[in-house]
Structure 1
Amino acid sequence: MAPMPSFDPESAWGADLGFSLLLNGASTLFHSDSVLSETVTALRAEGYQVVDLDASTWSTQAAMHDALASALSFPDYYGRNLDALNDCLSNVAEGAYGLNPDLLGLVVVVRGFDAFVAVEEQAAHVLLDIVERQSRLAALFGNRMLWLVQSKDPDLRLPQVGGRDVVWNAREFRNRGATA
């Protein structure tokens, strides 16, 4: 597997969607289904691998672990706890599994995240904190890992992860939820 080079400074600013999304951290919030769908379509067209998850069905941490393990091809020995999740996502960041080396990077779409926050607030926060850390690790290995986090609640506020705010995408930043 050949690592993905850093973004090209000549084309990254404004022209590279992956760059724009990663600029403020690994996770970007979305409210509008159409804005999220357009973003996913554009990232696929740029050559990203997209994994789509529905967090509104995660009524427990166990459900979250099962969904992530299946979607990202975690090994059978995955311990299904937050420490094990951190370990497995570090392996994804390194490209051991869950990441197609022939594509530009990994995009994990997590729909209905606000529903998971409502039932497992601490686990939801730790998940995004782990994602932030492991996305940085991925970059060190020449890999790209982005998470698009959709909320049906346009006023969802999340604590900082990795010393960063989890921010709304540029199209919905000023008027969250107003885009159809």
Structure 2
Amino acid sequence: MHPEFWRKMMLNGSVVLYNKSSILEKDIALIKAEGFEVARVDCADLDEGAFHKKIAKTLMFPAYYGENLNAFDDCLSDIEPEKTGVLLVFENYDKFLAKNPEFGNDVLEVIQVNAWRFLIRENVLMSFVQSNDPELLIPAIGGMAPQWNDAEWFDKARGL
């Protein structure tokens, strides 16, 4: 295992793209081994409202969670990991983006901005975003465009 695998993963921002589940699971295991708490959300059938309900339950947001992006930003920034940090895993994000393109990008923007806040507090916030579409492109968020993980960085590795 590489020491501080998470640092290498964050070189291009806190949001990392995945296509193949086997590679995703391998990297999740490496991150867990470094003391990360992992929260998973299957986004395949979610719309904006269902996303807020699911993320609030998954991250155990307080009852007053307002179910909007500002509330997501506020509650996410209040998370205090017990160890190294928090990894948010969003599966089937391509399906979520197809139904909610602007909102889906805004969610990742909130995560990217909060990742810097976490680092200032000496914690880490990351997100692994799995897509069934090997050509998925997400525009720059927080000034950085999400990149494919090292194992799938080349198009050929994603079957393109």
TM-score range, shorter chain: over 0.9
* One-letter amino acid of the structure 2 residue matched with residue 177 of structure 1: R
Deviation for aligned residue 1:15: 4.0
SS at match of 1:56: coil
Q: Which whole-Å deviations, capped at 9, do the CAs of 1:129-172 have from their partners, x for residues lacking one? A: 01000010000111111100000000001111001111110110
Normalised by the size of structure 1, how large is the TM-score? Answer: 0.84
Normalised by the size of structure 2, how large is the TM-score? Answer: 0.94
1:142 aligned partner: 122
1:18 aligned partner: 6
Deviation for aligned residue 1:121: 0.3
SS at match of 1:57: coil
Q: Which whole-Å deviations, capped at 9, do the CAs of 1:27-84 have from their partners, x for residues lacking one? A: 00000110001001111122211111101121x1011111110111111011101111
Divergent runs of 4+, >2 A: none
Q: Find the partner of 2:70 among 74, 83, 92.
A: 83
How many residue pairs were aligned? 158
Q: Find the partner of 1:43 among 9, 21, 31.
A: 31
- Percent of matched pairs sharing the same residue: 29
User: Aligned partners of 1:158, 1:42: CA distance in 2, in Å?
Assistant: 25
Gaps of 5+ in 2: none
Alignment of 1:1-180 (within 5 A): 15-58=3-46, 60-92=47-79, 95=80, 99=81, 101=82, 103-175=83-155, 176-178=157-159
* One-letter amino acid of the structure 2 residue matched with residue 18 of structure 1: W
Gaps of 5+ in 1: 1-13
SS at match of 1:133: helix
Q: CA RMSD of the aligned region, Å?
A: 1.4
